[in-house]
Amino acid sequence: MSKARIIISAIVMMAIYVLSSCDTVNEENRLIYVKPASVARNVLIEDFTGQRCVNCPNATDEIEHLQQFYGADTVIAVGIHSGPFAKTSRGVPYSLYTEEGDEYFNYWRVESQPKGVIDRKGTSEYPTWSSLVREELSFTAPVSLSATTEYTDETRELRVVVNSEGIDGNTTGNLQVWLIENGIVDFQYMPDGSVNREYTHNHVFRRSVNGTWGTAYNITEGQRRDDSFTCTLDEGWKPENMAVVVFVYNNAGVQQVIQVPVK
């Protein structure tokens, strides 16, 4: 037998050995589904407030207390200046008032201020917020959210990309993207009846990026999706003091909420 044939025979025998030594894997066992890891739920507080509301600073203090205890990225607050206390006695809106905020105010049938909505599960008084927040934090989120922002100084254009992953079951509802601003110095009526003209307003609702009620949303367990939005910031808003609040909600309430800085 020639040397070339010997080499070819050896290669063939080796291939037969390798193939015969491999275990046969059933088709159904080749891909094993791994459930996504559970995700802790953050909490959204919609604080219906106004500059003529003398007790509203007490609600703000309660929010700051909760954020100091749990973290400002865990308890996410949005101050919605709306209703009669966000306007003069003659009905002229103050600078922090928004028409969208009034839509939310009317939807929730807010009868007095301050009033809050925790994870979109009905209105509540600020002394109860601590227990309500603690209860919401005991749940896990059926969806994981993250977001990135791109802001252009010259055009004041902001692009927001929201990344989602389904964690548990099927989540259907709406995806909402809001802009808030911190560090706004303006007047505020105080609990003692005085007027503080150097009051610092934080987490002030500025506008919705994707409509008053958001974008229709659906995601299944293990699925990933990306949503992109753009808007232009108003003159006078300070992008370095602003954040984007992103949340998914449905009839059962807010399923998850996050916030990221504009820049």
Output the DSSP codes for 79-125: EEE-SGGGB-TTSPBPTT--HHHHHHHHHTT--SSSEEEETTS-EE-
pLDDT digits (tens, 9 = 90+) for 229-241: 999 999 999 999 9
Of 24-28, 36-40, 180-184, the one with minimum mean pLDDT is 24-28
Split at pLDDT 50, 70, 90, the class of 9 is low
How far does CA 198 lie from the centroid of its chain? Answer: 29
Average pLDDT over residues 59-70: 98
Split at pLDDT 50, 70, 90, the class of 13 is low
Angle subtended at Cα 181 by Cα 179 and Cα 182, rounded to the nearest 5 degrees: 150
At 225 the pLDDT is: 97
pLDDT at position 20 over 80? no
At 222 the pLDDT is: 95
What pTM did the predictor assign? 0.86
Structure tokens at 6: 């010997």
At 6 the pLDDT is: 47
Query: Is 239 in contact with 219 (CB distance < 8 Å)?
Result: no
Residues 48-78 as b/e (b if ≥16 CB within 10 A, e otherwise) read bbbbbbbbbbebbebbeebbeeeebebbbbb
pLDDT, averaged across the chain: 91
